[in-house]
Structures are given as C-alpha cells and as structure tokens.
Structure 1
Amino acid sequence: MALTLNPANVPDLSAFLKKTEGGPARLDLLVKGARCAACMSKIEKTVGDLPDVAAARLNLTEGRLTIRFASSQGDAGRVIATLEGLGYPATPYDPAQAVEAQDKESRRLILAMAVAGFGAGNAMMFSVPVWAGLFGQELGPATRTMMLWLSAIVATPCAIYAGLPFFESAWRSLKAGRANMDVPISIGVILTLFISFVETILHGRDAYFDAAVSLLFLLLIGRWLDHRLRARARSAAADLLALQAPAASVLGADGVERIKPLSEVAVGERVLVRPGERIPVDGFVEDGVSELDNALLTGETAPLPVRPGDTCRAGAVNLSGPLRLLALARSEDSAVAAIARLVEAGAQTKSLYVRLADRAAAIYVPVIHSLAALTFLGGLALGLGPREALLRAAALLIITCPCALGLAVPAVQITASSRLFRKGVLVKSGAALERLAEVDHVVFDKTGVLTEGRPRLINAPAAAIAMAAPLARASAHPLARALAAEAGPGVRAVDVVETAGQGVEGVIEGRRARLGRACFVGVEGRAESETELWFAFDGDTKLRFAFSDQLRPDAAETIAALRRQGLTVEILSGDLSGPVARAAATLGIGDWRAGLTPEQKAAAIDDLTAQGRKVLMVGDGLNDTAALARAHAAMAPGTALDASQNAADLVFSGAGLGAVPDAIHVARAARRRALENFSFSALYNVAAAPMAMLGLVNPLVAALAMSGSSLIVTLNALRMHGEGRR
C-alpha cells in the first residue's frame, strides 16, 4: 500500500533526534497498537524502506521503535506520518509516557472485561426463560419477543464496548493486508449480534446476544493476562539499571565533595566511593586500596583486590577501603547499562516468535470467510430466500468460529503452567513453554545455580573455629562471614584494623591475632588461594581454613536426566577457572568456560544460536541477564536477582535443580497436546463446514457444536495431569 504524505502536515521533530559525533542519528518512538509479529513486520519493513533510514526495530514489550538513520540528519516527522498512515500512532519515546500508556491499556482491558462480565450475566437473566421454552415450557409470542429485546438492550452495548480492543486490532490488521486472530473473532461477534437482531425482528427461534458478550468476556481474560506478562517482561532492564547508585560523590577541583545525580556525572570527573557503597560509574582507580564484590557482575565468589591503576565497573560493591576513581564513562555507557541493552535486545528478539495459532489463522480467515460468501451467494442462486441463505452462512461462520483453534494452545499452556506451578516452577508466558520444548542444548552458570552460591567451611576442627571466630565476626569479608556463621554468635575481637586485600587484625582476650591471606598471617612460600583463610596469634601456630562452594545435592542427577532427554550440557561461568574446572569434573561436564564477562556470555549464546542450537540458559546473577535474554529459553532460581528472574522465562523455587528436566518434559508434553488440538480443530472444521453449507445445521446447533469442540480441546489439555515424569 503506497502512502501519500503531505509535507505541510509533517511536524519538525529534529529536536528528538539523538546524534553522535560523526555518526548516524537515532530516533526512539513510542508506537501504540502494535501487538503481534505481523504488526512488527509491517512497521519495520515500511519504516525501513523510507529514504535515509538504515534500520528500524520494534520492541513489542515496550512499544519502542528504534530508527537508525543513514546519516547524521533524519526526517523524524516523515517517520511518524508513515506510522500514522499504517494505523499506528507514534510519539517521541518517553519512559514515563510508555509506562502511563501501559497502565492506561491495563485499565481499559479491566474495564472492558468488567463490562463484558456484567453484560453476560444480566443478558442470561432474559435468555434462560427463552431456553426453557425450547424444552416444552413455551412462552407466549409477546413475552418471548420482550425477553429477546431485553437481552439485546443489555448485551449489545456491552458487546460493542467490550469488543473494541478486538475490533480495533482486526481493523489495523486488515489495513496492513493481513488477518490475525482478532479478525474472525470480530466478524463472529458482529455477525452473531446481526443475526440475533434479524431473528428477533422476524420472531425467529435463534438469538445469541448472551453468547456474543460471554465469548468476549472469556477472550478479554486472556488478553489482560497477556498484557500483564508483557508489563512484567519490560521490567528486566529497569531492574538492572536500578542496581546503579542513584547519586555519586564527586570531588571538585577544589577538593570539595559534592553529591551529583548519576546522570550528571561526566567523563573525567573524580568520584569518591566509600566502603559499602556501590561503584556508580566505570572508573580508573587513582588512589586507594580495597576489595570489590563483583558477584553480581561476574559471578566470582572471591572478592577482587584493586589498587591504583586498576579499572572498576559500575555495579560492583566496595568492601573495605575508600577509593578515588576517575570516571571513564557516563552512567548510560556503564557496564550495567550495557548489560541492560543486551537484555532489551534479547527481549526484542523473542518478540519475533510467531505463535502457531496466528499462522493457522492466516490460512483460516480467508478460506472460511470466502466459503461463507459462496454459501450465501450459492443459496441465492439455488433459489433460497435471503433469510435462509444468510442463516446458512451464519451457521458456517459460527460452527467454524476459531474458538477451538484459539483455545488449542492457551488451554494446554494453562494446564502445563499449573502443573509446573505445583512443582515449584513459575511460567511467565505461554510462549516460554513453546520455546522450552524446542531446546537441544543446556547452558548452566556455576555459582548459585550448579552450586549453592555461598562459601562453606570444610572440615575445620571446632577448637580452631572457636579461636578464629572473634576476628571473623569483626570482618565483612565473605569467607570471614562464612567462618563466623559456622561458629555461631559470640564475642568479637577489639582494636580491629582491616587491611584492604589482606585481612583483619585485632585483639582476642589480650592476645593480638590476624585472619586473612597466608602472607598477611606470616606463612611464607605458599601460593595464594581465593578459597582459604589463615589465622594465627602472634608467634603461634598458623591455622588454615579451607572453603568451597558446594554443588547442589541433585546437580549430578539433574545433568544425567538432561542427557537422558537427549540434551547436551555446558557451563559458562564468570568465576575463576579452578572452581569451575572442579565442578565440571565432578559433574562429568566436558564443555566449560570460566572467567567470562556478561558480554562474553551473551556472545557465546549467540554463537551457539548461529550454529543452529536451541539453547536453554540457566543463570541467577547480573552477569547472566544478557545471556538469559539472548537464549532460546531461560530459567532462573527463585534466589536469583530480580533482574535475572525478569529476564528468564521460567523461575523455579527450592534448593534443587530437578525443576529443569521436569520443566523440559512438561513443555514437550504440552507441545504434543497442542499439536493434537490443532489436528482435531482442523478435522472438526473440515467435517463441520460442509454440514453448515448444506443447511444440515442451524445456528443454534452450530453454536452447540462450536462449544463442544472447545470442550474437547480443553479436556485433551487436561490429560497432561496424568502424565508422569520421564
């Protein structure tokens, strides 16, 4: 469809272009009304074909269209006018406006659902006496007509209002030259109301006012749940950015400390980070010695010592000493922001997943509606009256209404999701089950996934623990905290001094003692280890405490179960190579990589995808969020960060990993049931359509048959409850 733009009506929106020095301009727009892959394809293709547009990508979850122009200049007004011509109003993207639009859509769907429920319930008060008349308790003609008109008065306005989300979506789809599932639903509802009015006016026996509004009520429940899932999905990147400090302590040229909002910290400014604070921006250490907790960024279990000359990344926690940093990047260019962009890109890629029901509808709509038109015209040609020909066409549309087709996947997804919920697995979207059923390769993070995610003391004598515990209780070091937890509550050392990157020194019952690295305690010639602590009183015997991050009890059984399902397994970890190698050897996993950054993990997932693998990523840390978003399917434990849980498709609770093979088994069973339902729907329509065309069923029988097909599809989905784990 060619679009004719009037230059006089194209607004000047050049102020909203984001320009980079010497690079192309970019424009972010908030697009309203785009809901499906067909909408996305149409928008991206049409906008991408505009002059000077290099690329256009639409994020359905956020409604954000990102346009990259070929030059430093771009015609933003022309892009918006093009979108208006396609039926998708657009405005410059504003996060607050996007959230407001999402909230407005949610309120609209809730109100439509309430109106449909009200209409269905009240219309049935007048329909029940009419139904009763069909079984021998005949109403007088005047009373029957009055009941039908009262039902029409209640149901019609409710159906029109409640159907607006479907009618608008269907109209946009038809304007784009495609037919989504809302097209047959809209035509079915409108035609049902029309036939009901015709039957009421002609004193016929078949009117379906209550059925039209009841169908909309059930469909709106599903539409609202889908909207809520999209709203939850868009919060993953927001959760990541929330991990950044809200403000930074900036040192001016005069040495005076000033608090600045994070967004105002410029490259080259000096930032002061105290112990316990989170690094606000990527920076270069100018002064200070400390240790950083990088667990959220890299998954490393041991603190990382830093000193002048080292680089710190935003999101890490400063553990011991104060640091003065030279800012190397603005907040929007930090490591955390980069991970958030990877998560957004992954979520956008997932939006390309086309549901099987939509593909079936693309075939169903033109075929059935063409048959209905032929039935009406053929009836007239064969000498039938207009009323009889219209009833046959209506019966055809009603009996082949895609309710069973529309329920084929959702009914299975709801059943599978409820079954997994009882096993402690939360499924965040039906599409997640479809993707999970297709995976052939599983990637695990190590720390917090294959392992318990916390260091534990190994085989230390109780007497040694009791001696070192007072110093351990006075330290914030993760290994010291593990030692203190093993000892339990008790006294603390006094005159405590902590040396960044080395250990802690203090007085216990009048004796000076040290707890920390081997060299700090006085043990010479021993290689440093990130999984051990040494303790000694002055001039006394040195005691060694070893720690390990224990594997989950069922980790080996889980790996074996996945292999029995025909899956290959790999470990991608940001931890040190030693712990990763030991975990892989214990579990019998030959493919593993250690020391990976979040970007490297995401790149590894992309490489596997390029090789044709369908990857399931199981991770829990900030360093896993980008990989979770890029994988074909993703799972996270309930102990994971909110950002990781939002980036994942499924979240499992409990201390074990058995939920992973369980979820894959249920997803594969759900796929089988969905395909069975589609096969039944196809056979049902093939058999029912000729009967309606030949006049062998009237609209009432057609409605009963349609309801029966939906019931069969639902009962088939419920069969999943009887399947055991393989």
Structure 2
Amino acid sequence: MNAHTRDWEAFVTQKEDGKAHMELAVDGITCAACIFEIERELLKEQGISHARVNMSSQRLSVDWDEAAYNPSRLVDLMEALGYKVYPFDPAQVKARGDRIGHELLRSLAISGFAAMNIMLLSISVWSGNSSDIDMETRAFFHWLSALIALPTVVYAGRPFYRSALKAIKTGRLNMDVPISIGVLLATGLSVVQTVQHARHAYFDSAVMLLFFLLAGRYLDHMMRRKTRSFAENIATLKAESAAKILPDGSTQEVPLSKLEAGDKVLVRAGERVSVDGVVLEGQSEIDQSLVTGETRLQPVSVGDNVFAGTLNGPGTLTLGVTASAKGTLLDEVNRLLETALEGRSSYVQIADRASQLYAPVVHLAALITFLGWVFLMGADWQYGLVIAISVLIITCPCALGLAIPVVQVVASGLFFRSRILLNAGDAVERLANVKTIVFDKTGTVTLPQATLGDAGGLSEADLALAGRLALSSRHPLSQALSKATAQTQPIGGASEVVGKGVQGQWDGEEIRLGSPSFCGIPQGAVEQRQKEQPGSSLLAFRRGADVWALLAIGQYLRQDAVETMAALRARGYNLELLSGDTAEAVGDVAAALGIERWQAAVKPQDKIAHIEHLKAQGHAVMMVGDGLNDAPALAAANVSMSPVSAVHVSQAAADAMFLGDELMPVVEALDIAGKAHRLMQENLGLSVIYNVIAVPIAVLGYVTPLVAALAMSGSSIIVVLNAVRLQFMVKQANKESV
C-alpha cells in the first residue's frame, strides 16, 4: 500500500463474513462512461464483491474479501486508470468541487472574451479578402488574433487537456481527446498559416469551440453541484459524546466510541438522545418525529426503548446502552440511505451513453478523411489537415452535450417560479417517467407544524388566557397553542408538572392546561371529543370549577391537498400513502384524500422494501416525504420530492424540494418535467440529424474549420432556442388549465 494508504485504515469498516468496506472520493470523473469503466475494472478483480460509484458525490464504495484481496491493489488500479482517490470526506469533496467550478467559470469567461475579440478581427479579414486588404494588414490581424488565442487556448483548454492526457496515458479514449486534438491542431495550423501569410487562419474556430464546450461543461457541473450529500446533514443529528454514569454515581462525558452495551448514560431534559437504549430510571416524553414520523410526544418510563437522534422532553432519564457509535437506529437509517443512493447512481443519461461511442468514431472519421484527401485525392497535407480538423470540429458534441443540460437549466427556472428547487441534474428525466406516487403523511400531505384546529367552544378571553398559560410549557401542543393565539405575556408564577401540564393562578382562580386527567375532564367528554375530532390531539384547559374545554390540536391537511390528489388522479398517476403514524390517523387522512392504497406504522426498511417491490413490478416510483425515516425511501425511489420543512437529511436525499404550505408544486413539477423531457428528446434528435447532414459535407471538403465552428455553434444555438420553447409550452398549459 502506498504511503498515504496507511492513513486510510481508520476508514475501513468490517462487515460480516470477513468482508471489509471503504468509501473513497474519486477525482477525474466527468461522465457516466467513467463510472462504467471504474465499476467494470474493479469488479474484474478477484476478491472485490461490490464496487459502486455515486456520480453526484464522486464517491466510490468498495467491499472486498480481506483474506483474498489487498486494498493496495485497488489504489494502484485506480491510479493506473487515471483517477486519484482519497478517503471520502464530504467537506473535502465539496471543496474540490468548488475549485473545479471556479476553474471552469474562469476558463469560460476568458474564452468568451477572447472569442469576441478574435471574431471582430476575423470579420475584418473576411471582408478585406473580398475587397482590397493588403497582405501586411491581414498578417497583422492574424498575429493579433494569435496573441489573443494562444494564451487563451493554453489556459481555457486545461480541463480538457488534463482529462485527455489521463485517458491517453491509460490507453483509453474519451470525448475530451478529439476535443483537445481539434483545438490544438486548429491553433497549430493557424500559427503555421500566419507565418506563411495565408489568406485564412482559424484561431476563431479554436477559441469559439472552447467557449461553447466550456459553457456546456459548466452548466453540467452546476446542475450536479446542486445534489447535496446527506453525510453533511446527518451529522447534525449525531451526538459525539454522552454523559456516562460511573460506578460511584458521578457522570463523565465520553466519546460514543468508548461506550459499550450495558453502560449507563444520563439524558437530561431537552437533550438529544445519543444512543439506543432502555430506560432504567425516570420518566419523560420523547419526540420521535425524526425517526418514526409520529408527531405526538411518546411517554417513556422504565423498560421502554429509546433511540439515538430522538429528542428528550421535560424529564431526566437513565438509559442502559444497547448500541452507541455503531448499530443504532440512526446509523441503520444512514446505512440504508447510502445503499439506496449508490443503487441509483448507475443511472446513465442518453447523452452520456452516446459519448462512449463518440471519441473512437470521430477519430476514425477524421483520420480516414485526412488519408483519403492526401493519398487518394493527391491534396496538399495542409489542405487535408484542414478538412480533417473541420471533421473533428463539426462533429464536436456541443449540441449533444447541451441537449439535456440546457433544457435542465430552463426547467430549473420554471421549477423555481413554481417554488420548486432541484437537487439532482437528471431529476427532470426521472420525473417525466413517474407512474406511481407514494406520499408520506405527517409533514407532507399535512402541515409540518401542529396548529389549533378547534377551540372547543372556549371564549376569546379564556382562549387567550390558555395561550398565555401555554407559554410556561415546553410541550409541543402548548407551543402550538401559544403560537395560534399569538400570546407573548406568560402567566406569572405558573409552574409545569412533568408529564401532566402547567398550572397557575388568575383572578383568584386556579387555571390548568395539559392532559384531560390533569385538568379533571370527565372521561365521557374526552371520548366524545375524540369522535368529533379524529386524528387530533386533545389539550385540556380549566379555569376554576366551571369553565373547561378540550382544544383540538393537530397537523391538518395542507389546504390544497385534496385538490392536488384529484389533479394527480386525473393525470393517470397511481397514488399510495405510507406513514409511521397510527392506522387510525393514516386511514382518516387517506379517506379524506381519496387514496385507496395506504399503510400505517411503516418502518424505514419497510418503506424501502415496498418501493423496491413496486419498482420490481415495473412502476416508476416517486416518493414524497419529509422525515428522517423517509430519507432512505426518498433515495430508493426512482425520483423523490420533499417539502422545504423536511429534515436536512431528507432534503439531501430528495431530488427536488417545494416551498410553502401548498402541495400543488408536486403536480407542477410533473407537468414541467413531462414537457422538458419531450424537448430533451427533440434536442437529441436534432443533434443526430445535424451530424448526419454535416459530417458528409465536411468529409467532402466543403467546410473550412471556421464554417465547421459556426455550424457547430449554430447547432448549439438551435438546441438552446428549442429548449427556451419550454417556457411558452408551460405558460400555454397553465392558461388551458385555468
């Protein structure tokens, strides 16, 4: 193993059956062809059982048999293929991605500025050649063009040259090889022709070619940059240490890695639970919404299980550790999410698949053209080279490379206006293929925050009093009440009784807010109220002996949820509802939305299993969810969306997010994607037609490098203009729907 490989031992994790696992960041991946090559070559190695590349995060996950394989061979093989590898660190991957983006942007700006200036000089030469320009003036303009072009070609072409050199060193061809050859040949020939005082030089062709290629490369980079890594976000839920209870009863903060099963830890009120464990002492209420999706606080006492990542309520708990750094439910969710993301990373776009065949075909065509003109037609080598360069340039995959990214950019603008943010560059294509939509309940089809639904007949004055009393409690239901009543002044002297409610004095009367039993509400009244307000949590209020009420608080349907489901059904989508909530709550919501297929009390792994089952039946599945328990399912689905109120991990796993309290952006996303996908197919078709027509013309010698560059630019412009049509298509569709 090389020198720095020794430092990677800390990144190797042991799996069952003698398997080892490691995550590596890979530099040099530019397209799906790179992914295919890496995975193919690694899986040829005896001992490697799994190799998968995540395009978005540039991460390689590898499993190998420790007894049969030395990981140093893996590192050497990757370097032999032309890729640098590092231990995977999300922050470092992001920093490297930012550096690449800055380099592409600088190169794009420089090539654009140079192309404009060289084109002005070229126009003067063209017009002069058809009139009375003298040789000295023409040579002067050519040398000025060379002065601008040479440093531009050297600097702006670096992203292509580096990739081409790596490919050549490893005996491969990628699409950057003919690009580099075409640019350098056009520049070199132009220098020779300038020295020979020729009528034409092709500096403008070389620089324009670079500009359009860099534009496509930068657009593609920006789309991929929007796909955020879950690893940065899931860390916010993981505590790094816990308060271990020592044999003498004292506590000491220790790293999670130092805890073992059977140790005791202390979880104070308001703290996030750092381990999976069993309650040994104390009672409290746990907010498990990040894990289960259930919004109601769950009371826990001796013997109950609690999980890492959940939030402790008002009580103090002593836990017996069952799992700490590894093996917790949070760690399992993380593992499921990683697996699902890797499984989806093998998606290969049409343009990327075409690029695998592009390089060898173009090289062969250009070489045959040069040899044919020089040896068969008896042409001068310079003339033959000019035609060969024209073939290289005119077949440049600018239109092919822009066909999808430019539609994505236009679609992104439309998504943004519809309050939708894309996280994945290929989300448009996958949204267009959706047939089945699976919704989470809590925080997705319902509002993310609990709110007051019904005051139970309480007067405005008493409701305001209840809201003031609620300010003295940290319970979510009390906080929802205080927010709904917009109260800011708490009741003086009020005190909270753990697990029951809050009490105080007002005008000589005792006032209470909390559980029905704490407020002395008859059980019959509670049962009747539950029938009237199904799916709501009841918060009791009492003033004195005579005034009392049961306030209904819950997460109610988004205002347009019913309309959204009706619109989706009208478009022919199959709808399902999966939730970790209770069967009663899920059933009520499904009935209100008209969704026939639903499941309750679903765990994260069950959601993935159900989605995989649907995919196996041929369904293209879209998942819409917001909780931590939804993150693996979001990643496992063909495409996914989350509300902006979702936890960070779910946002990272989703391909798109929608803003606001309305659900209609889901419909708008599907509509925009369908139209955008159609335009992508049209653009690819236009690119193919362009090459079918242009290549024979170039091979026959009717095209100069400049005309080839203009034709290539023209094809790119046509593709861009066709993509802009998307805006008018969406506007027209909106008018028709109104």
In structure 1, the residue matched to 2:137 is: 143
Cα distance per residue 1:584-638 (max 9 Å; x no partner): 1011001111222333323322222222221111122222222112211111222
Please, which of 366, 376, 379 is the counterpart of residue 370 of structure 2?
376
Q: Does the C-alpha gap of structure 1 residues 266 and 129 become closer, same or farther in structure 2, counting only changes over 3 Å? A: farther
Determine the C-alpha separation between the residues in 1 that align with 2:153 and 2:633. Answer: 44
In structure 1, the residue matched to 2:262 is: 268
| Offset at residue 148 of structure 1 (A) | 1.5
| Offset at residue 430 of structure 1 (A) | 3.0
Question: 241-250 or 676-685: which moved more?
Answer: 241-250
| Structure 1 spans left out of the alignment, 5+ residues | 1-6
| Offset at residue 395 of structure 1 (A) | 2.3
Question: 282-291 or 692-701: which moved more?
Answer: 692-701
Q: Does the C-alpha gap of structure 1 residues 298 and 218 become closer, same or farther in structure 2, counting only changes over 3 Å? A: farther
In structure 2, the residue matched to 1:3 is: none
The 8 Å contact of residues 61 and 348 in structure 1, kept in 2 or not, is answered as no
| Offset at residue 539 of structure 1 (A) | 4.7
Residue 504, structure 1, aligned to residue 502, structure 2: yes
5 Å-filtered alignment, 1:14-93, equals 15=9, 17-19=12-14, 23-71=18-66, 74-93=69-88
In structure 2, the residue matched to 1:249 is: 243
Q: Does the C-alpha gap of structure 1 residues 717 and 546 become closer, same or farther in structure 2, counting only changes over 3 Å? A: same
| Offset at residue 153 of structure 1 (A) | 3.1
Question: 251-260 or 63-72: which moved more?
Answer: 63-72
| Offset at residue 151 of structure 1 (A) | 2.0
Question: 336-345 or 307-316: which moved more?
Answer: 336-345
Cα distance per residue 1:97-154 (max 9 Å; x no partner): 5455444434543444454355445545654543553564x43212322322232233
In structure 1, the residue matched to 2:678 is: 672
Question: 401-410 or 635-644: which moved more?
Answer: 635-644
Cα distance per residue 1:444-481 (max 9 Å; x no partner): 11122211122333332242524533432222222222
Determine the C-alpha separation between the residues in 1 that align with 2:584 and 2:301. Answer: 24
The 8 Å contact of residues 18 and 66 in structure 2, kept in 1 or not, is answered as yes
Determine the C-alpha separation between the residues in 1 that align with 2:258 and 2:217. Answer: 41
The SS at the match of 2:504 is: strand
Determine the C-alpha separation between the residues in 2 that align with 1:510 and 1:73. Answer: 81
Please, which of 196, 200, 204 is the counterpart of residue 206 of structure 1?
200
Residue 590, structure 1, aligned to residue 596, structure 2: yes
Please, which of 229, 234, 237 is the counterpart of residue 235 of structure 1?
229
Q: Does the C-alpha gap of structure 1 residues 232 and 668 become closer, same or farther in structure 2, counting only changes over 3 Å? A: closer
Question: 469-478 or 259-268: which moved more?
Answer: 259-268
Determine the C-alpha separation between the residues in 1 that align with 2:390 and 2:453. Answer: 75
Question: 244-253 or 436-445: which moved more?
Answer: 244-253
In structure 2, the residue matched to 1:450 is: 445
Please, which of 617, 622, 627 is the counterpart of residue 628 of structure 2?
622
Q: Does the C-alpha gap of structure 1 residues 199 and 333 become closer, same or farther in structure 2, counting only changes over 3 Å? A: farther
5 Å-filtered alignment, 1:571-720, equals 571-720=577-726
The 8 Å contact of residues 33 and 353 in structure 2, kept in 1 or not, is answered as no
Q: Does the C-alpha gap of structure 1 residues 94 and 639 become closer, same or farther in structure 2, counting only changes over 3 Å? A: closer
The 8 Å contact of residues 2 and 72 in structure 2, kept in 1 or not, is answered as no
Letter in 2 for 1:492: P
| Offset at residue 490 of structure 1 (A) | 5.9
Question: 710-719 or 255-264: which moved more?
Answer: 255-264
Determine the C-alpha separation between the residues in 1 that align with 2:468 and 2:420. Answer: 41
The SS at the match of 2:29 is: coil
The 8 Å contact of residues 458 and 549 in structure 2, kept in 1 or not, is answered as no
Cα distance per residue 1:9-54 (max 9 Å; x no partner): 9977894543468732333333321233222222222222223222
Residue 301, structure 1, aligned to residue 263, structure 2: no
Q: Does the C-alpha gap of structure 1 residues 383 and 35 become closer, same or farther in structure 2, counting only changes over 3 Å? A: closer
Q: Does the C-alpha gap of structure 1 residues 156 and 347 become closer, same or farther in structure 2, counting only changes over 3 Å? A: farther
Determine the C-alpha separation between the residues in 2 that align with 1:98 and 1:548. Answer: 41
The SS at the match of 2:323 is: coil
Q: Does the C-alpha gap of structure 1 residues 314 and 104 become closer, same or farther in structure 2, counting only changes over 3 Å? A: same
Percent identity over paired residues: 43
Please, which of 471, 474, 488 is the counterpart of residue 472 of structure 2?
474
The 8 Å contact of residues 561 and 662 in structure 2, kept in 1 or not, is answered as yes
How many matched pairs? 719
Question: 598-607 or 221-230: which moved more?
Answer: 221-230
In structure 1, the residue matched to 2:187 is: 193
Q: Does the C-alpha gap of structure 1 residues 571 and 50 become closer, same or farther in structure 2, counting only changes over 3 Å? A: same
| Offset at residue 328 of structure 1 (A) | 1.9
Determine the C-alpha separation between the residues in 1 that align with 2:653 and 2:288. Answer: 20
The 8 Å contact of residues 184 and 402 in structure 1, kept in 2 or not, is answered as no
Q: Does the C-alpha gap of structure 1 residues 522 and 154 become closer, same or farther in structure 2, counting only changes over 3 Å? A: same
Q: Does the C-alpha gap of structure 1 residues 424 and 537 become closer, same or farther in structure 2, counting only changes over 3 Å? A: closer
Q: Does the C-alpha gap of structure 1 residues 344 and 470 become closer, same or farther in structure 2, counting only changes over 3 Å? A: same
Q: Does the C-alpha gap of structure 1 residues 434 and 175 become closer, same or farther in structure 2, counting only changes over 3 Å? A: farther
Determine the C-alpha separation between the residues in 1 that align with 2:258 and 2:155. Answer: 47
| Structure 2 spans left out of the alignment, 5+ residues | 531-535
Q: Does the C-alpha gap of structure 1 residues 134 and 382 become closer, same or farther in structure 2, counting only changes over 3 Å? A: closer
Q: Does the C-alpha gap of structure 1 residues 190 and 245 become closer, same or farther in structure 2, counting only changes over 3 Å? A: same
Question: 279-288 or 249-258: which moved more?
Answer: 249-258
Please, which of 372, 375, 395 is the counterpart of residue 400 of structure 1?
395
The 8 Å contact of residues 108 and 214 in structure 2, kept in 1 or not, is answered as yes
Question: 506-515 or 648-657: which moved more?
Answer: 506-515
Question: 276-285 or 507-516: which moved more?
Answer: 507-516
Determine the C-alpha separation between the residues in 2 that align with 1:444 and 1:522. Answer: 39
5 Å-filtered alignment, 1:530-541, equals 531-537=537-543, 539-540=545-546
| Offset at residue 225 of structure 1 (A) | 4.7
The SS at the match of 2:52 is: strand
In structure 2, the residue matched to 1:323 is: 317
Residue 433, structure 1, aligned to residue 439, structure 2: no
Letter in 2 for 1:446: K
The 8 Å contact of residues 552 and 656 in structure 1, kept in 2 or not, is answered as yes
Determine the C-alpha separation between the residues in 2 that align with 1:225 and 1:344. Answer: 26
The 8 Å contact of residues 206 and 699 in structure 1, kept in 2 or not, is answered as no
The SS at the match of 2:426 is: helix
In structure 1, the residue matched to 2:533 is: none
In structure 1, the residue matched to 2:558 is: 552
The 8 Å contact of residues 179 and 361 in structure 1, kept in 2 or not, is answered as no
The 8 Å contact of residues 91 and 232 in structure 2, kept in 1 or not, is answered as no
The SS at the match of 2:214 is: helix
In structure 2, the residue matched to 1:492 is: 490
Query: TM-score, normalization: structure 1?
Result: 0.91
Determine the C-alpha separation between the residues in 2 that align with 1:237 and 1:106. Answer: 21
Determine the C-alpha separation between the residues in 1 that align with 2:403 and 2:2. Answer: 49
| Offset at residue 669 of structure 1 (A) | 0.9
Q: Does the C-alpha gap of structure 1 residues 604 and 18 become closer, same or farther in structure 2, counting only changes over 3 Å? A: same
Question: 365-374 or 628-637: which moved more?
Answer: 365-374
Letter in 1 for 2:583: S
